[in-house]
Amino acid sequence: MAYSKKVIDKFENTLNEPEKFNVGRFDPKEANIGTGMVGAPACGDVMKLQIKCESKGNTHIIKDVKFKTYGCGSAIASSSELVDMLVGKTLEEARQIKNVEIAQALELPPIKIHCSVLAEDSIQQAIDDFEKKQ
């Protein structure tokens, strides 16, 4: 498998410094937390993304993010890449993030595009979960 240096670096950095790269969990029951979990163990990848939101005017912005991912190297790198994009964004802006951006940023090989799709799904689900609680 020919991964780009970007995937490899992202994967290794996330693995070596999990805290710096937002690996972890929030209490999903708290009102300002939205949780998204996508994928399936049988398919080889599961992504869990949590956003901590704060109200700002008539919208919310993402203050902090935590994630955990079970999956191949590019799945882990994709989640980590997505997390970098989220902090400071409004929920509307976060909804606009498309898998192509992640795939391009990491130069994912075609066979691994589904990893970026999964990342996109995880943020949509996390926002849905947060909005349901409001």
Partner 1 sequence: MSKKIDLPIYLDYASTTPVDSRVAKKMTDHLTLDGNFGNPASRSHKFGWKAEESVEEARSHIANLVNCDPREIVWTSGATEADNLAIKGIANFYKSKGTHIITSKIEHKAVLDPCRQLERDGFEITYLEPNDGGLITPQSVRDAIRDDTILISIMHVNNELGTINDLEGIGSLARKNGVFFHVDAAQSTGKVNIDLSSLPVDLMSFSAHKTYGPKGIGALFVRRKPRVRIEAQIHGGGHERGMRSGTLPTHQIVGMGEAFRLAKEEMDTDKERIHKLHNRFYDSVSKIEEIYVNGDFKNKVSNILNISFAYVEGESLIMALKDIAVSSGSACTSASLEPSYVLRALGRKDELASSSIRFSFGRFTTDEEVDYTLTLINHAVERLRELSPLWEMYLDGIDIDSVEWQTH
Number of Cβ atoms within 10 Å of the Cβ of 75: 23
SS3 assignment, position 51: strand
Kind and range of the H or E run holding 41: none
113 is a contact residue toward partner 1 (CB under 8 A) = no
Spatial CB neighbours of 54, under 8 Å, sequence gap ≥ 6: 32, 60, 61, 63
Stretch binding partner 1 (CB under 8 A), from 8-16, 56-64, 81-89, 91-99: 8-16
82 is a contact residue toward partner 1 (CB under 8 A) = no
The yes-or-no answer on residue 72 being catalytic is no
Spatial contact of 66 and 25, defined as CB atoms under 8 Å apart: yes
The minimum distance between CB 45 and partner 1, in angstroms, equals: 7
Restricted to residues 26-65, the positions that interact with partner 1 (CB under 8 A) are 37-48
66 is a contact residue toward partner 1 (CB under 8 A) = no
SS3 assignment, position 27: coil
The yes-or-no answer on residue 43 being catalytic is yes
Spatial contact of 65 and 51, defined as CB atoms under 8 Å apart: yes
Residues lying near partner 1 in the complex (CB under 8 A): 1, 8, 11, 14-16, 18, 23, 25, 37-48, 68-73, 75-76, 111, 114, 117-118
Catalytic residues: 43, 115
